[in-house]
Structure 1
Amino acid sequence: MTLRCDVMLETRLDTERIRAARRVIDPVFLGTPLYRCEALEPALGCTVSVKLETANPVRSFKARGTEVVAGLLADNGARAAVCASAGNLGQALAWSGRGRGLDVTVVASRFATVAKLDRIRALDARLELVDGDHELARERAAAIARYEGSRLVEDSLDIETCEGAATIGLELVDAGPSYDAVLIALGGGALATGVGHVLKALAPEVEVICVQPLGAPAMTHSWREQRVVTTESADTIADGVAGRRPIPAVLADLLQVADDAVLVQEASIIAGMRMLLDHAGLVVEPSAALGIAAILEDRDRFAGRHVVTIVCGSNVDVDAYHRWVGATPGPRS
Structure 2
Amino acid sequence: MDNASAAADHAATNSAAHGADPQLVTLADIRVAADRIQDLVLRTPIVALPHPDRPSDVLHLKAESLQPTGAFKLRGAYNTISQVLDESRERGIIAQSSGNHARAVAWLAKRLDLRAVIVMPDAAPPTKVAAVRALGAEVVLVPASERDSRTLELAAEHGYVEVPPYDDVRIIAGQGTVGLELIDQLPDVDVVLVPISGGGLISGIATAIKSLRPEVQVIGVEPELAADAAESLREQRRITWDTTLTYRTVADGLRTPAVGVHPWEHIRRYVDDLVTVSEEQILTAVRHIAVEGRLVAEPSGAVATAAWMHDLAPRGATVAAIVSGGSVDPALMARVLAG
For the criterion TM > 0.5, the same-fold answer is: yes
Any conservation in 1 of the 2:91–2:159 contact (CA below 8 Å)? no
How far 1:80 moved relative to its partner? 1.0
Any conservation in 1 of the 2:286–2:302 contact (CA below 8 Å)? yes
Query: What is the CA–CA distance in structure 2 between the aligned matches of 1:90 and 1:143, rounded to whole Å?
Result: 18
How far 1:184 moved relative to its partner? 0.1
Any conservation in 2 of the 1:288–1:310 contact (CA below 8 Å)? yes
Any conservation in 1 of the 2:277–2:307 contact (CA below 8 Å)? yes
Structure 1: any 5+ residue segments left out of the alignment?
Answer: 1-9, 328-333
Aligned to 1:92: 104
Any conservation in 1 of the 2:228–2:240 contact (CA below 8 Å)? yes
Aligned to 1:274: 287
**2:262 alignment partner, one of 234, 243, 249:** 249
Any conservation in 1 of the 2:48–2:293 contact (CA below 8 Å)? no
**1:260 alignment partner, one of 247, 264, 273:** 273
Query: What is the CA–CA distance in structure 1 between the aligned matches of 2:196 and 2:275, rounded to whole Å?
Result: 9
Q: Does 1:159 align with 2:169?
A: yes
Any conservation in 1 of the 2:51–2:59 contact (CA below 8 Å)? yes
Where do 1:81-120 residues align within 5 Å?
Answer: 81-120=93-132
Aligned to 1:46: 57
Any conservation in 2 of the 1:217–1:263 contact (CA below 8 Å)? yes
How far 1:176 moved relative to its partner? 4.5
How far 1:326 moved relative to its partner? 2.4
Amino acid at match of 2:217: E
Q: Does 1:170 align with 2:180?
A: yes
**2:216 alignment partner, one of 197, 206, 209:** 206
Query: What is the CA–CA distance in structure 1 between the aligned matches of 2:203 and 2:323, rounded to whole Å?
Result: 16
Closer, same or farther in 2 for the Cα pair 1:56/1:246, shift >3 Å? closer
Where do 1:119-138 residues align within 5 Å?
Answer: 119-130=131-142, 132-133=143-144, 135-138=145-148
Any conservation in 2 of the 1:46–1:302 contact (CA below 8 Å)? no
**1:228 alignment partner, one of 224, 232, 238:** 238
Query: What is the CA–CA distance in structure 2 between the aligned matches of 1:175 and 1:316, rounded to whole Å?
Result: 27
How far 1:43 moved relative to its partner? 4.0
Q: Does 1:193 align with 2:203?
A: yes
Query: What is the CA–CA distance in structure 2 between the aligned matches of 1:121 and 1:49, rounded to whole Å?
Result: 34
Deviates more, 1:146-155 or 1:208-217: 146-155
Q: TM-score, normalised by structure 1?
A: 0.89
Any conservation in 2 of the 1:52–1:312 contact (CA below 8 Å)? yes
Query: What is the CA–CA distance in structure 2 between the aligned matches of 1:113 and 1:53, rounded to whole Å?
Result: 20
Aligned to 1:67: 78
Aligned to 1:283: 296
How far 1:45 moved relative to its partner? 6.6
Any conservation in 2 of the 1:218–1:231 contact (CA below 8 Å)? yes
Q: How many residues align?
A: 314
Query: What is the CA–CA distance in structure 1 between the aligned matches of 2:37 and 2:295, rounded to whole Å?
Result: 25
Amino acid at match of 1:33: P
Q: Does 1:32 align with 2:44?
A: yes
Structure 2: any 5+ residue segments left out of the alignment?
Answer: 1-21
How far 1:245 moved relative to its partner? 2.7
Any conservation in 1 of the 2:176–2:201 contact (CA below 8 Å)? yes
Amino acid at match of 2:261: P
Q: Does 1:19 align with 2:31?
A: yes
Q: Deviations over 1:274-306 (max 9, x none)?
A: 11111111121001111121123326x532221
Any conservation in 1 of the 2:44–2:62 contact (CA below 8 Å)? yes
Amino acid at match of 1:15: L
Amino acid at match of 1:69: T
Q: Does 1:56 align with 2:96?
A: no
Any conservation in 1 of the 2:65–2:296 contact (CA below 8 Å)? no
Judging by fraction of residues, say which structure has more helix. Answer: 2
Q: TM-score, normalised by structure 2?
A: 0.88
Query: What is the CA–CA distance in structure 1 between the aligned matches of 2:329 and 2:41, rounded to whole Å?
Result: 23
Any conservation in 1 of the 2:93–2:115 contact (CA below 8 Å)? yes
Query: What is the CA–CA distance in structure 2 between the aligned matches of 1:184 and 1:199, rounded to whole Å?
Result: 12
Query: What is the CA–CA distance in structure 1 between the aligned matches of 2:54 and 2:250, rounded to whole Å?
Result: 23
Aligned to 1:6: none
Any conservation in 1 of the 2:47–2:293 contact (CA below 8 Å)? no
Amino acid at match of 1:61: F
How far 1:47 moved relative to its partner? 2.7
Aligned to 1:3: none
SS where residue 65 of structure 2 aligns?
Answer: coil
Any conservation in 2 of the 1:270–1:325 contact (CA below 8 Å)? no
Query: What is the CA–CA distance in structure 1 between the aligned matches of 2:26 and 2:275, rounded to whole Å?
Result: 26
